[in-house]
Structure 1
């Protein structure tokens, strides 16, 4: 059966006759695209073309074979390397295979046949990978984001509707919301429901990368661009080519780099740090931030032109406290998931536990809820999780009072109750602390507005 899966092959061999012979022999297969290099320097200058496999002469005069293999694997771990060596040394072969070589072949009269067989094996592996990807695409043509973004409340249903719209085009999407609301989950839902679902999804947390490294991380760098740049490295824009690049916490991007990002988005091209070569890019952009970018623009911390380039289709994620009983749906999901992952018996939430969750404002949103529920499973010795197993801050804490929008009267009650709890229900002391008449407090207690038991 004819192999229909093309392989791009680089031959690194300093012996001109031997390299030419091997190139000619491998080129007899119409599914092999073969290029030959006689020096490591020339080879590494073209490695960004991303061959599928490299046949490497272990005894190159200008660079040791071990080092060549290491440099290939450090920069492009998915490139397969077949070592061809004149040494029949089992120890060397084992060490090279441990370092990531796909095969080790000793030079003799049958070398070209062994290389051919090894390449055919690789071609079959690539073909199987393609089949798996095609099956994934067919089976999961629609990424069921409702399994990951759980909720039935009106606010989250509006988000689902916007995800559907975003998935049908390549419009830039800007996702906003408090920390922990699930901004990356939204980005993945859009990507895996789009026509780019079988292409790369590359996520970059801008806030997590040091200021002096972010440019190299996004745009890549050339060898020698700075101290430590021992070889060329492609950046996240190239890595996400034809797929989706998710830039999380975009509001943290240094103002000096914003101009370069804007140009990359407008021109659909980049230049690696320390280089002159223009690289065309084609990645769908999704950005996210917990900041109000318009406020950042007004404060001169974010470029106005970049803001309008990125705003695209805005999706605002609701805070968990705004999603009502979604809290209970998510809590049950996290409990079930944690029990399954840890091979534990299923656990349920008592009514009192459910009420405790509903009363708590969850400043850390879904991320905090997940941690709270996992801990509650560990702390609970019974099948039912009780309130004492749920470790959250006091829902009447003064730090959380402003988390929910209430009337002035309701805020007044919350504040007084907080101090009654703090000072062991000492009404006279609380009246003194708050400069409130004790008769006012007694009236509120008698009306059931305050609890003293």
Structure 2
């Protein structure tokens, strides 16, 4: 039999009805059919991996239920359609409980029902194959070496920690500056663990307004507050049996931290507007660009929650501390971008390499990726020179100051630059510039006006 064909076994001891089933199924040229007259010969040939087995309930050597059980024990992906004169509802229920896909009562006019059922199975098999293929691609994309590129000693240590994290369900805390790749590490852990087939659910705590974060995490019942027009499943339930990634965890309001702690300890959540706990079982990975222990000392983060989340710590070094990894990453991004855009591969000229090595990359890997993609776009020839590398403002401070602007205009430009650098995280920008959040909002409003 063709290994790529959609294979169907017909198991029927009545010779005339066996030929009828084979004839009807053969009307579809995509199907490859093999006929058997007893259960044993069918079971002996399951190594050929049929997609579907049509199975008579009463066979000369064994009952259809026994054959069904043995098929499912050997390969649960094989779909079984029972075909019989038997129409006892209790028998039908028993067969369906043991994994039968459908039960069809024998008749001369079986063609349409049979072909529709097999067609539905075929669609399901194709969808399942597509999902398997996508999962394979995702695992390949988030393998250690493909998701986190570098040869530096610190990078190799990260690989080692990721591998340790994939072996168990231990909570993982990933720390590092903005742009160092914290979510990539979280995905690498998830897609290389036993939970890879389950959901990976990311939540950026800093990006969700304080009044909405509880509903986002735990869900809510219909009518629990104004605007709650229907029940909503929270991220904890969405990530059930998978991984919940809580990014920027240090930004969580301290009033919600107690509820998060309870959810982690009890492995259950309570939706807003409900009194009924819902069991959840998901792995937790957190990330932050702050020192959580300092946040505890400053009263911004609960100590008991800190110890509950600490787990296996993975600290990502800034790009400026990763030595030649800057060039390794740059070449990786060039290859990736050229491939995605069907461009001829470009190389880095010596002057461009020196310029990259001299720059501190405050935006880390994320900034490097943007710089390289722009450079590849700007370079007309197959070589990227230093002129193609548009780096941060601090290298062009003289040019900046040569513009005649008011001090207020300079302030607004600085705020906008920091907002771009820190993904519009107003709280982080306020801390970096040591100004109030309200001041930032006011300056941005002035700029829009």
Q: TM-score range by the shorter chain?
A: 0.5 to 0.7
TM-score, normalised to structure 2's length?
0.62
2:96 maps to which of 30, 41, 50 = 30
Q: Which residue of 2 aligns with 1:359?
A: 358
Is 1:5–1:126's contact at 8 Å kept on the other side of the alignment?
A: no
Shift of 1:249: 0.6
Shift of 1:114: 9.2
Shift of 1:117: 8.0
- Measure the CA separation in 2 of the matches of 1:332 and 1:316: 24
- Measure the CA separation in 1 of the matches of 2:240 and 2:294: 32
Partner-residue secondary structure (3-state), 2:220: coil
Is 2:267–2:281's contact at 8 Å kept on the other side of the alignment?
A: yes
Shift of 1:123: 5.2
Spell out the pairing of 1:20-99 with structure 2 (5 A cutoff).
Answer: 30=96
Shift of 1:147: 1.1
Q: Which residue of 2 aligns with 1:327?
A: 326
Deviations 1:37-57 (A, max 9, x none): xxxxxxxxxxxxxxxxxxxxx
Partner-residue secondary structure (3-state), 2:275: coil
Partner-residue secondary structure (3-state), 1:30: helix
- Measure the CA separation in 2 of the matches of 1:334 and 1:177: 21
Q: Unmatched 5+ residue regions in structure 1?
A: 8-22, 34-112, 399-417, 424-453
- Measure the CA separation in 1 of the matches of 2:124 and 2:276: 30
Change beyond 3 A, Cα 1:228–1:302: same
TM-score, normalised to structure 1's length?
0.62
Is 2:53–2:78's contact at 8 Å kept on the other side of the alignment?
A: no
Partner-residue secondary structure (3-state), 1:245: strand
Partner-residue secondary structure (3-state), 2:233: coil
Spell out the pairing of 1:31-430 with structure 2 (5 A cutoff).
Answer: 124-133=122-131, 144-393=143-392
Deviations 1:344-389 (A, max 9, x none): 2211110000000000000000000000011111221111111111
Q: Unmatched 5+ residue regions in structure 2?
A: 1-51, 55-75, 80-88, 100-110, 403-449
Aligned length: 312
- The structure 1 segments of at least 4 consecutive aligned residues displaced by more than 3 Å after TM superposition are 1-7, 23-29, 113-143, 394-398
Deviations 1:50-86 (A, max 9, x none): xxxxxxxxxxxxxxxxxxxxxxxxxxxxxxxxxxxxx
Change beyond 3 A, Cα 1:350–1:137: closer
- Measure the CA separation in 2 of the matches of 1:156 and 1:301: 31
- Measure the CA separation in 2 of the matches of 1:216 and 1:24: 45
Shift of 1:244: 0.7
Shift of 1:120: 6.7
Change beyond 3 A, Cα 1:122–1:296: farther
Change beyond 3 A, Cα 1:214–1:422: closer
Q: Calculate the aligned-residue CA RMSD, in Å.
A: 3.5
Change beyond 3 A, Cα 1:299–1:115: farther
- Measure the CA separation in 1 of the matches of 2:401 and 2:298: 40
Is 2:361–2:367's contact at 8 Å kept on the other side of the alignment?
A: yes
Q: Which moved more, 1:143-152 or 1:258-267?
A: 143-152
Deviations 1:150-175 (A, max 9, x none): 00001111111110111111000000
- Measure the CA separation in 2 of the matches of 1:277 and 1:115: 44
